[in-house]
């Protein structure tokens, strides 16, 4: 068993790679990271990152300055100068929703090439979200073919899925609920020993097969998404009832310890870089192995329809949306991140543009990403007040703190016609409905 700090390498400097690499390096582990995107490598070596994540800038700056974190454009260099390699490349969806393993295979290829010239045992850890069987049947097999080395004898393999949440990624990485590690005894012992050095107090840990570890990640995401789609379905019932409110219903069921209060927040739907692609990948995988998954299908269906509630409400309040000025408050898929992958804002904006509306948008961090998609089809505001100025309807899509602070008077004094749709249930319905034309997801009609 190793007692010297192992050196770590990374393949992939996206949200997971950069956060994990910076956290390891900040505790004195030597970390070398490779990415096919040279601009990310160069930026990291300047002590910077392109993503926004609370506390990440400080960690990266500190680790690079003190020589613990370095990026490289040479995949051989990072493997040969480390004992453990984490694969943190993206696993996007193909057109049909199935998982695209292109980046994982490329990374395994490069690791295989490097391992050809390495004589000591090396551990490869698959942190990317991959379907059951991928670590052993794709990553291991590819590395074996390319390197001519034998899995488990010359190199080890673990599945170690990541559960960090964007917006609190550093905190989640440093203080996780649990660690899931799958693989052979030698490989999982090695990785566990590294984590014992990294964490002062080891989190709850499950050591299991690689297949179980891989499936835990999908089951986890599917369950959380199902909980949100469930409360969104209940929200639709509330909307048809006088004096009903999904917030109270959610509180009522959340107090049941068997259910719990988390992930019962109704809204205009979920998006992001993980749930949509992971649920679709699991659905396709289940189809391939001939397993019926009606709950996954329903979870996805509810979510596809959910953003339309905002459009229905806008039409209810304004009638025809053609040439009406509509403000979108919040663009990122959730607060405290600049990530707009599969963001609900994009679906709502597209629908409003189809209806001929004039759309003004604002987000504290995600303006650039949205500008790259929509270009001059939208008006880009400089802050929240600028966004709602002279508008006829405002839709709150992402619950950033600064939007929660907006008072009814801000809408009354700035909008042409004060119609507000609360897509994330942040405003007090009693207060806001008494002063504005107000609708909210899961809020029953008022007499
Ligand atoms: N983002 C999250 O919140 C989150 C949370 C848990 C798990 N995950 C999973 O972690 C994985 C990574 O997600 P992400 O959001 O960090 O992805 P990302 O798209 O932000 O980053 C992936 C990075 O990998 C790089 N890359 C691609 N091919 C490469 C190769 N052959 N060698 C080296 N680098 C390569 C890309 O250039 C990119 O920088 C995915 O499987 C995702 O499902 C993500």
pLDDT tens-digit readout, 328-373: 999 999 999 999 999 999 999 999 999 999 999 999 999 999 999 9
Same domain for 71 and 203, yes or no, is yes
Quote the CA–CA distance of 418 and 431 in Å, as a whole number. Answer: 14
CATH of the domain at 435: 3.40.50.720
Asked whether residue 270 falls in the same domain as residue 382, the answer is: yes
Q: 247: which residues sit within 8 A by CB, 6+ positions away?
A: 266, 425, 442
Q: Is 11 in the pocket of ligand 1 (CB under 6 A)?
A: yes
Co-location of 193 and 280 in the same domain = no
Decide which of 163, 181, 208 is a domain's last residue.
208
Residue 91 covered by a domain: yes
Closest CA to 150 of 180, 126, 184: 184
Kindly state whether residues 188 and 255 are assigned to the same domain.
no
CA–centroid distance, 392 to ligand 1, in Å, is: 40
- Contact between residue 326 and residue 418 where contact means Cβ atoms under 8 Å apart: no
The per-residue pLDDT for range 128-142, each reduced to its tens digit, is: 999 999 999 999 999
Q: Give this prediction's pTM.
A: 0.95
- Domain assignment present for residue 227? The answer is no
- Are residues 165 and 75 part of one domain? yes
- Which of 156, 183, 208 is the last residue before a domain boundary? 208
19 and 79 fall within a common domain: yes
71 and 172 part of one domain: yes
Is residue 225 a part of any domain in this protein?
no
Distance from residue 187's CA to the centre of ligand 1 (Å): 23
Using N-to-C axis directions, what is the helix angle for 56-65 and 38-45, rounded to 10°? 70
Number of Cβ atoms within 10 Å of the Cβ of 75: 21
Residue tagged 């074996």 (tokens): 144
Task: Supply the residues annotated as catalytic.
Answer: 274
Cα distance between the two ends of the chain: 70
Closest residue by CA, ligand 1 atom 19: 90
CA dihedral 126, 186, 173, 4 (to 10 degrees): -120
- The reply to whether ligand 1 has any atom less than 6 angstroms from the CB of 275 is no
Residue nearest atom 38 of ligand 1, based on CA coordinates? 14
Give per-residue pLDDT as tens, 237-275.
999 999 899 999 999 999 999 999 999 999 999 999 999
The answer to whether residues 204 and 266 belong to one domain is no
Whether residue 10 has its Cβ less than 6 Å from ligand 1: no
Ligand 1, pocket-test mutation among 33, 38, 40, 88, most atoms within 8 A of CB: 88
Whether residues 204 and 269 fall in one domain = no
Ligand 1: centre distance to CA 102 (Å): 12
Let me know whether 176 and 104 are in one domain: yes
Provide the pLDDT for residue 3: 72
Calpha distance 45→404 (Å, rounded): 37
Specify the 3-state DSSP secondary structure of 245: strand
Closest CA to 85 of 160, 178, 26: 160
Range of the domain at 159: 8-208
Q: What is the residue-averaged pLDDT of the chain?
A: 96
Are 378 and 361 in contact by the 8 Å Cβ rule? The answer is: yes
Spatial neighbors of 46 by CB under 8 A, at least 6 apart, are 64
For a substitution probing ligand 1, which of 9, 10, 13, 14 has the most ligand atoms within 8 Å of its CB? 14
Structural domain includes residue 221: no
- State pLDDT tens for residues 404-442: 999 999 999 999 999 999 999 999 999 999 999 999 999
Query: Does residue 238 belong to any structural domain of this protein?
Result: no
State the total domains in the chain. Answer: 2
Residue after which a domain boundary falls, among 208, 230, 262 = 208
Q: Are residues 169 and 264 in the same domain?
A: no
**25 in a domain, yes or no?**
yes
Residue nearest to atom 43 of ligand 1 (CA): 129
| Ligand 1 atom at minimum distance from 127 CA | 10
Residues 68 and 169 in one domain: yes
Q: Is residue 237 part of a domain?
A: no
How far apart are alpha carbons 45 and 80 in whole angstroms? 19
């Amino acid at each position: 068993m190793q007692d010297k700090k192992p050196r770590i390498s990374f393949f992939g400097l996206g949200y997971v790679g950069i956060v994990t690499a910076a956290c390891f390096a900040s505790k004195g582990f030597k970390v070398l990271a490779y990415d096919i995107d040279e601009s990310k490598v160069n930026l990291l070596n300047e002590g910077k990152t392109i993503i926004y994540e609370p506390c990440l800038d400080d960690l990266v700056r500190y680790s690079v300055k003190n020589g613990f974190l370095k990026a490289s454009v040479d995949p051989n260099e990072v493997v040969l100068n480390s004992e453990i390699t984490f694969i943190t490349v993206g696993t996007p969806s193909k057109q049909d929703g199935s998982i695209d393993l292109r980046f994982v295979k490329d990374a395994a290829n490069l690791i295989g090439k490097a391992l050809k010239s390495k004589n000591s045992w090396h551990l490869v850890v698959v942190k990317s979200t991959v379907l059951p069987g991928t670590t052993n049947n794709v990553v291991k097999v590819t590395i074996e073919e390319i390197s001519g080395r034998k899995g488990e004898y010359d190199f080890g393999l673990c599945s170690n899925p990541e559960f960090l949440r964007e917006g609190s990624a550093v905190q989640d990485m440093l203080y996780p609920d649990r660690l899931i590690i799958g693989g052979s005894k030698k490989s999982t012992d090695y990785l566990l020993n590294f984590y014992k050095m990294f964490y002062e107090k080891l989190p709850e840990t499950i050591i299991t097969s690689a297949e179980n570890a891989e499936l835990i990640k999908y089951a986890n995401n599917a369950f959380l998404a199902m909980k949100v789609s469930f409360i969104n379905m209940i929200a639709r019932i509330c909307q048809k009832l006088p004096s009903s409110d999904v917030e109270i219903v959610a509180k009522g069921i959340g107090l049941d310890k068997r259910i719990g209060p988390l992930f019962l927040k109704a809204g205009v739907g979920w998006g992001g870089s993980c749930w949509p692609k992971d649920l679709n990948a699991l659905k396709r995988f289940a189809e391939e192995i001939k397993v019926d998954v009606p709950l996954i299908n329903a979870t996805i269906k509810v979510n596809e329809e959910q953003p339309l509630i905002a459009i229905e409400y806008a039409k209810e309040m304004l009638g025809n949306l053609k040439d009406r000025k509509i403000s979108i408050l919040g663009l990122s898929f959730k607060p405290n991140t600049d990530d707009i992958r599969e963001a609900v804002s994009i679906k709502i904006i597209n629908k409003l543009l189809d209806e001929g509306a004039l759309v003004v948008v604002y987000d504290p961090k995600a303006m650039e990403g949205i500008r790259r998609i929509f270009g001059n089809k939208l008006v880009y505001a400089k802050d929240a007040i600028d966004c709602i100025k002279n508008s006829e309807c405002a839709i709150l899509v992402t619950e950033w703190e600064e939007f929660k602070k907006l008072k009814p008077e801000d809408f009354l004094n700035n909008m042409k016609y004060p119609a507000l749709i609360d897509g994330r249930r942040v405003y007090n319905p009693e207060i806001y409905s008494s002063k504005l034309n107000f609708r909210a997801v899961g809020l029953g009609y008022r007499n």
